């Protein structure tokens, strides 16, 4: 019986091992990146006078308030996912126009991920200076986790600034666009999510190549 169980676990690991290793590496980046991103949206909205995120208990760094179970699992198994969006009410903003408020609330999410990536890159560089680049033990594993952490947060920064709904980049575009663009933006708002899905999963999509090139360029500067 033990031999059967051992053979089962060996076969299971041979099938899922690489994916499990990926999940363990990306989980810290996912939890921190998604949590800080959504907290940043909530913080900015509250800072500008809207109490809605506070009422929704989103003004917290507790990951359980921000992570979507399905979106989290999909990131780990299918490399695509999402967190719970932060609700906010532009009618509650004080001291800023709707366009300025929407711009600030939307932009702070991706900017927070860039900040996390820079922080992780600084730690990673320091470890490299210390000579922790290979071998066995805890520190090389930490370096792998940090490398994924930096790359994942840069990816969140780049991806969320794509100007298609429902991403933050679309809100940024809409906030900056002149009134003559409103008709085109209304069409984009209606069909943009479908366009985004098609671009993400279309084989050889230019969006994938664009994200990859920008991601490589930023990572080249950071690490």
Point out the residues that are catalytic: 38
CA distance 212 to 220: 12
CA distance 37 to 23: 20
CA distance 1 to 12: 17
Residue 33: CB atoms within 10 Å: 25
Cβ-contact 58, 12 below 8 angstroms: no
Distance of CA 155 to the CA centre of its chain: 7
What value, to the nearest 5°, has the Cα angle with vertex 43 and ends 41 and 46? 110
CA distance 9 to 68: 30
CA distance 60 to 89: 18
Question: How many alpha carbons fall within 13 Å on the CB side of residue 87?
Answer: 7
| Helix, strand, coil distribution of the chain in percent, nearest 5 | 75, 0, 25
């Amino acid at each position: 019986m033990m031999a059967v169980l051992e053979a089962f676990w060996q076969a299971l690991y041979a099938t899922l091992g690489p994916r499990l290793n990926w999940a363990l590496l990306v989980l810290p980046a996912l939890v921190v990146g998604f949590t800080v991103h959504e907290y940043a949206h909530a913080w900015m909205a509250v800072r500008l006078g809207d109490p809605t995120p506070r009422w929704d208990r989103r003004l917290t760094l507790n990951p359980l308030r921000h992570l979507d179970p399905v979106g989290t699992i999909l990131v780990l198994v299918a490399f695509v996912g999402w967190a719970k969006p932060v609700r906010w009410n532009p009618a509650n903003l004080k001291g800023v126009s709707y366009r300025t408020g929407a711009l600030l609330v939307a932009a702070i999410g991706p900017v927070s991920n860039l900040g996390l990536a820079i922080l992780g890159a600084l730690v990673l560089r320091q470890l490299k200076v210390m000579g922790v680049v290979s071998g066995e033990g805890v520190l090389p594993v930490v370096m792998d986790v940090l490398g994924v952490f930096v790359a994942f947060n840069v990816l969140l920064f780049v991806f969320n600034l794509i100007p298609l709904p429902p991403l933050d980049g679309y809100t940024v575009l809409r906030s900056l666009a002149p009134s003559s663009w409103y008709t085109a933006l209304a069409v984009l708002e209606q069909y943009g999510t479908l366009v985004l899905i098609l671009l993400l999963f279309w084989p050889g999509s230019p969006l994938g190549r664009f994200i990859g090139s920008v991601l490589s360029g930023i990572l080249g500067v950071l690490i």
